[in-house]
Amino acid sequence: MILNDYKDQFIELLYKACILDINNIRNVFNSESCVAYTIICDSAFVNFGTGMCTKKRLLDQTGELMTVLPQKWQNKDDTLQYVNTHASEWNYFNEHLYFKELNDLADLIANADCDGDLLGIYVKDDIGDDNAYNNFFINFICEVITRLKSSNTFLDQPFQKNLLLGLQFFNPTDVQQKIMLDISEKVNSPEWHKKMLEAYST
C-alpha cells in the first residue's frame, strides 16, 4: 500500500466534507460572525472533523476564563488570543457529519501503517516531526485549505474577512504543535500566523 497513491482521494473527500460543513455553518450561524475555522484531527491522523469559533463565543469564553481563573488570566488581550488559537475553547465541532468516508479511508491507512504494509514512508531513524507520514497529511490539508480559499468559500457571512485557518489538535504535543505551525505558515495571513507562533512556539 503506497500512501501517496491516496493523496487525491484524501483531498477530494476532505474538500467535499468541508464544503458541506461550511454550508451547514452558514445556515446555523448566519446571524453571527465566525473568527476561526480549522480542520480538527486526533493524534494519529485518523479522525478528521472541523472546529469553528464565533466572535460571541470568543468574547464570552474570554470573560469566563478571566472570571473563573483570575490568577492565570489577568490580561484580556492574552486571554482573547488564547481562546482564539485553541480549538478546545470554541463552540462548534463537527467530527461525524460529512466526514465518515474520509475517516474510513484514514482508518484504512492507519491500519496498514500498524501492520507494516504502508510502503515508501519510513526510512531508518525517520521518526521525528519531518517524517514522510506527517508530511503527507500536512501537504494534503494545506492543499484543501488553499483550494477553499481560492474558491472564495469564506468570502461571505458568517465568516469574517481575516479568518484563522489551519489544523488544530486538542492538547497537542511538541511535534503536533510544529505540524500546526507548519500548516499555519502556509494558509494563514501573516497576522494570524504570528499569533499562532506566539501561542504555540516552545
pLDDT tens profile 147-164: 999 999 999 889 999 999
pLDDT of 84: 96
pLDDT of 4: 78
Of all residues in the chain, the percent with pLDDT exceeding 90 is 71
What is the rounded (10 degree) CA torsion for 36, 43, 141, 34? Answer: -10
Distance, in Å, from the CA atom of 85 to the CA atom of 100, rounded to the nearest integer, reads: 26
Query: How buried is 201 (Cβ within 10 angstroms: 0-12 exposed, 13-18 middle, 19+ buried)?
Result: exposed
Query: How buried is 199 (Cβ within 10 angstroms: 0-12 exposed, 13-18 middle, 19+ buried)?
Result: middle
Of the ranges 3-17, 107-121, 184-198, which one carries the lowest mean pLDDT score? Answer: 107-121
In the predicted structure, residue 73 carries a pLDDT above the cut 60: yes
